[in-house]
Amino acid sequence: MEKSKKFFLPLMVVMVAVALGFAAYHKQNGLADVFELEKAIVSLDDRIIAVKDENDRLRMELLALETSDLYIESIARESLGLVKPGETVYEFLDSEN
């Protein structure tokens, strides 16, 4: 009888701890939700970095558009196919056409 009393209290403590741990993990706003929110935060942090990089690139392009006539000319030539007066344009066709 004495031996069973020695194991009863530690067994009860372990069972209560397991039950509390299970409840803390699975209840609303529990550890599972915290882990999911941490993943979302990491994902959003990555997205913020990507957007900041894109903003920096766009700022640099805007500055070039505001200050460089050569940059504007290169954009016009590449995007719109514009040429300067007196230039000759050569078009090369694929051999398959």
Q: Please name the residue ranges forming H helices in the chain.
A: 2-26, 31-67, 69-80
Looking at residue 24, its pLDDT comes to 66
- Crossing angle of the two packed helices 31-67 and 2-26, in degrees rounded to 10: 30
* Cβ neighbours for 65, distance < 8 A, ≥ 6 positions apart: 71, 72, 75
Q: Given a cut of 90, is residue 44 above it in pLDDT?
A: yes
Confidence of residue 2 (pLDDT cuts 50, 70, 90): low
Looking at residue 21, its pLDDT comes to 73
| Residue with more model confidence, 54 or 2 | 54
